Chains A and B, each alone.
Chain A
């Protein structure tokens, strides 16, 4: 009998995972067609946490709409805000002071580390290991405290404003970041001891959820998931914004394309972010933290696009302006949406038990997908 993959026939089992399920990291609903234990089709159903952020932005001014984007990818809120601020600055042709640029990059990289930390803990928890979650949160908590002290909030910072950042760095910032770097370096070996070196973990990750480089490109998979397949897609390297072109860091690439490759990309990316923070933390230039801007921002008529590299991949902000105080249309190209679309292709023909592991390596944030 010829097995028809992707077609529901009599005798197939259709099960629903989610929308309330601990492994889906939010309210993602997966309709899975099974043949025995083998996955034939995975159909994601979206929209459970749709808040129409894009439509909301149309009635908010260019200063106001930035705060809504912290609620999209809440684990890299800084980077989302950064993308919007950059896009508005592009339209207004504001020159951002160098100090503000350095602060922004520092915050971005700290956010990236915090996001990958949480992913690492959640990834291990997806596979049934509970302890790593607390180890990851210990380091992440330190970053959250730094954010709280300087930006005033732990997750939804709203620190980036058009023209720079909202407030100057807290006097304790440098010493606390250095303490964090020290803590992180003294604890990094635990990650390998607990999870990476574990044979059970490796057997569940290696050769599972394979995504070839061609498929990654055709599905638009970006970020660590794309780089795990060997696709060079780091926006910080390819289309440098702010001061990234002056910094020394490597684009992390793995060629295996399986879950373990995506895992290793994220672990190694944390090291690169640490490298960037180390380069900048002693070299924050003096000067203004915010450029002088008008009280009411009006973008000239036209279309503006800016992309940045979030912890999950490429985030694009597209603003259409009619010349007024509010945007005519805003579109976000969110990394999670494209990465999720590859899930069906990745898991077809594999076992149901590996679905959650493959999904975990994509690092999905559901509010980012639904917006």
Chain B
């Protein structure tokens, strides 16, 4: 009786092993079912979803105007102190003082891509871009100025 059980065990073990091996063999011979992507080679056809959070950018239109009023809502919403807004005062032709941004400092090295700044922005001035290759040689390169040089606040945005 014992010997019968013993050989039965061995037989069922080999059978279960073969069932598993058949599955492995199936994928060995069916190359079309393999879904692995060769990353650095497929860079050109790599399409990331538009919502993917890669870094914060400020949108500028063709005439180099943005929608940032310098209200600091994003600065307050950020949990890590990633954003620092330096404001200046423009003097309009009528002699009135008007607040505008001088520099929108963005520390990419502190950013966790939580998206809270974009949520908080009342004028949709900033958004998340889907670039993701951020490696640079020095840490200083990660501190960015988001507003382009000589850019202005779009008319009508309060």
Q: Is A190's CB under 8 angstroms from B51's CB?
A: no
Q: Is A153's CB under 8 angstroms from B113's CB?
A: yes
Cβ distance A340 to chain B, nearest Cβ, rounded Å: 27
Binds B, one of A102-110, A192-200, A237-245, A345-353: A192-200
A114-168 CB contacts (< 8 Å) to partner B: 131, 138, 141, 148-153, 156, 158, 161, 166-167
Residues of chain A within 8 A of B115, CB atoms compared: 152, 158, 166
Q: How far is the CA of A194 from the CA of B16 in the complex (A)?
A: 8
Residues of chain A within 8 A of B112, CB atoms compared: 67, 156
Residues of chain A within 8 A of B128, CB atoms compared: 152
Known: A158-B115, A198-B20. A170 touches B51 (CB 8 A): yes
Q: How far is the CA of A32 from the CA of B48 in the complex (A)?
A: 46
Q: Is A190's CB under 8 angstroms from B23's CB?
A: yes
Number of interface residues of B (CB under 8 A): 26
Q: How far is the CA of A140 from the CA of B113 in the complex (A)?
A: 22
Does A63 interact with chain B (Cβ within 8 Å)? yes
Residues of chain B within 8 A of A161, CB atoms compared: 119
Does A279 interact with chain B (Cβ within 8 Å)? no
Number of interface residues of A (CB under 8 A): 29
Among candidates B19, B35, B53, residue contacting A197 with C-beta atoms closer than 8 Å: B19
Cβ distance A167 to chain B, nearest Cβ, rounded Å: 7
Q: Is B77's CB under 8 angstroms from A63's CB?
A: yes
Does A5 interact with chain B (Cβ within 8 Å)? no
Residues 18-51 of chain A, each 1 if its beta carbon lies under 8 Å from chain B, else 0: 0000000000000000000000000000000000
Does A356 interact with chain B (Cβ within 8 Å)? no
Q: Is B52's CB under 8 angstroms from A148's CB?
A: yes
Q: How far is the CA of A166 from the CA of B116 in the complex (A)?
A: 9
Q: How far is the CA of A199 from the CA of B116 in the complex (A)?
A: 51
Residues of chain B within 8 A of A138, CB atoms compared: 35
Q: Is A148's CB under 8 angstroms from B16's CB?
A: no
Q: Is B51's CB under 8 angstroms from A149's CB?
A: yes
Residues 11-30 of chain B, each 1 if its beta carbon lies under 8 Å from chain A, else 0: 01100110110111000000
Known: A193-B19, A197-B16. A149 touches B113 (CB 8 A): no
Cβ distance B19 to chain A, nearest Cβ, rounded Å: 5
Does A188 interact with chain B (Cβ within 8 Å)? no
Residue of A nearest to B26 (CB): A190
Q: How far is the CA of A167 from the CA of B19 in the complex (A)?
A: 45
Q: Is B23's CB under 8 angstroms from A152's CB?
A: no
Does B90 interact with chain A (Cβ within 8 Å)? no
Residues of chain B within 8 A of A280, CB atoms compared: none
Residues of chain A within 8 A of B17, CB atoms compared: 198-200
Residues of chain B within 8 A of A16, CB atoms compared: none
Residues of chain A within 8 A of B113, CB atoms compared: 152-153, 156
Cβ distance B84 to chain A, nearest Cβ, rounded Å: 17
A54-73 CB contacts (< 8 Å) to partner B: 60, 63-65, 67-68
Q: How far is the CA of A148 from the CA of B132 in the complex (A)?
A: 13
Q: How far is the CA of A194 from the CA of B26 in the complex (A)?
A: 12
Cβ distance B56 to chain A, nearest Cβ, rounded Å: 12
Q: Is A152's CB under 8 angstroms from B51's CB?
A: yes
Residue of A nearest to B22 (CB): A193
Q: Is B116's CB under 8 angstroms from A193's CB?
A: no
Q: 12 A-B Cβ contacts within 8 A?
A: A148-B49, A152-B49, A152-B52, A153-B52, A167-B51, A170-B49, A190-B23, A194-B20, A195-B20, A197-B20, A198-B16, A199-B12
Q: A64-B78, A138-B35, A193-B23 are in contact. List 16 more A-B contacts (CB 8 A).
A: A63-B116, A64-B116, A148-B48, A148-B51, A148-B52, A149-B51, A152-B128, A158-B115, A166-B119, A170-B49, A190-B23, A197-B16, A197-B19, A197-B20, A199-B9, A200-B17
**Which 5 A-B residue pairings sit nearest by Cβ, starting from the closest?**
A64-B79, A199-B13, A67-B114, A152-B51, A152-B53
